[in-house]
Amino acid sequence: MRAVQYLRLAGENALQWSAHQEAVGHFTTALELLAALPERPERAQQELEVRLALGPALMVTKGNAAPEVEQTYARAQALCQPIGETPLRAPRCLRFGTTCFPWPIPATTVPLMSIHQSASSHE
């Protein structure tokens, strides 16, 4: 869905300008649109991308220990597992697990890093 792509890009652009609250709004709207779509691999991929971008914005606006941060990362983790470990998904999970920001990352990110490591070892 193009609207979701554009909202994700708008959110990422807002993050570059440190407009974190605006980014959260764009990402949240994208997730609301995705929720109306049927469960398909393409939808799951888009949701994963949006959630991985949303996590750092939530850390800034809500704090590292906020329930919203934990829920976002837990859902991202759940999306990684059933989708599989394709080359497109694994780097996103790695970026999520290692880049983040200078803040501590929630415990739910550790399985994402192991997903990427197992995908790398299969190549």
Angstrom distance (rounded) from CA 69 to CA 7: 19
Angstrom distance (rounded) from CA 106 to CA 51: 14
Tell me: pLDDT of 45 over 80: yes
pTM: 0.70
* Domain residue ranges in the chain: 2-121
Rounded to 5°, the CA angle 89-122-47 comes to 10
Q: How confident is the model at residue 114 (pLDDT cuts 50, 70, 90)?
A: very low
Angstrom distance (rounded) from CA 25 to CA 44: 20
DSSP state of 103: S
Tell me: pLDDT of 91 over 70: no
- CATH fold of 2-121 reads 1.25.40
Tell me: pLDDT of 85 over 60: no
